[in-house]
Structure 1
């Protein structure tokens, strides 16, 4: 029996600060993304905290924490 494997590659780095997250979630839902995958995106976009870190860059380096 053959199995189908789907993959989606998203680069959210540039869109993270410039696209309203609620509008992005609505767009994902309208394209058919729902259920556990939609919940994953919702959690990913809403549970982000940034804190400065790094010796060489001082407060210029920020890392996202879950």
Structure 2
């Protein structure tokens, strides 16, 4: 059985939400909710979610990693 990880921080997913089969941990979920929409953090979170959910339909070889960023 594969252990799910958060699509934003990469930590094991023990709680949180699932969107299209991909998980966001409770900690990242709270950060997204509290984040102002006009910040770089909001764009980062939005892009991580967008890239993870659309991962199955993008071209092969495209880098979709969000874990390279520091929060």
Interval containing the TM-score (normalised by the shorter chain): 0.3 to 0.5
TM-score by length of 2: 0.31
> Counting helix residues as a fraction of each chain, which structure ranks higher?
1
TM-score by length of 1: 0.32
